Chain A
Amino acid sequence: RKEVEQDPGPFNVPEGATVAFNCTYSNSASQSFFWYRQDCRKEPKLLMSVYSSGNEDGRFTAQLNRASQYISLLIRDSKLSDSATYLCVVNKSPNAGGTSYGKLTFGQGTILTVHP
């Protein structure tokens, strides 16, 4: 089983649509969770962290369910510029897995295309 699993998509949605991405992780020792965004042929960039209580940043809402080991990202009122690959990322705290650093594990990514 993959450490971080995402539906690869692609998701094709019209402008203004609401779209949700899901992610599951296998390691219960995972402590921190993130969504990164990667534009075509560009590097990944941090979109937002995901907190246990859920958090919102403008049109983006992230949710975490530790019991189910499940993370989600909701994008409301999609824009053309939201077209990208969205990467689910989890991290174990330093020393939790016997290492002295926090190791990021990336999902395969979910491709989103927003069309006019």
Chain B
Amino acid sequence: ETGVTQTPRHLVMGMTNKKSLKCEQHLGHNAMYWYKQSAKKPLELMFVYSLEERVENNSVPSRFSPECPNSSHLFLHLHTLQPEDSALYLCASSLSSASYEQYFGPGTRLTVT
């Protein structure tokens, strides 16, 4: 149940703040993902990393900046966010970027005030 962890679990930030979300996977996977889940909308893929290399940037605004220092850790750096960025941010990992089964972390619930 703790294969993918995320911190913090809840975050409230102002529009001028800078914060970072952290994800760690303990499954020996090589691919990691960031998703955004807003109320009443499907999960939206934001970024994909495969072997620490970004392979997808799904038209995400530059106020979201991902970082993958190694295959076990993934960060999402946030700055000058907007209230509409309030959502649940989910990290996931998979054995490889070609693996279809993704394991999700519990998410960070972000509120931008």
A interface residues (Cβ-Cβ under 8 A, vs B): 2, 4, 8, 32, 34, 42-46, 49, 87, 91, 94, 99-109
Among B14-22, B65-73, B78-86, B99-107, the one that faces the other chain is B99-107
B interface: dominant SS: loop
Q: Which chain B positions have C-beta within 8 A of A8?
A: 40
Q: Are B100 and A43 closer than 8 Å at their CB atoms?
A: no
Q: Are A100 and B100 closer than 8 Å at their CB atoms?
A: no
9 more CB-based (< 8 A) A-B contacts, given A46-B101, A87-B43, A100-B97: A43-B90, A45-B104, A94-B97, A99-B56, A101-B48, A101-B56, A102-B97, A104-B100, A108-B42
Take A43-B106, A101-B50 as given contacts and tell me if A32 and B43 are in contact as well, using a CB distance cutoff of 8 Å. Answer: no
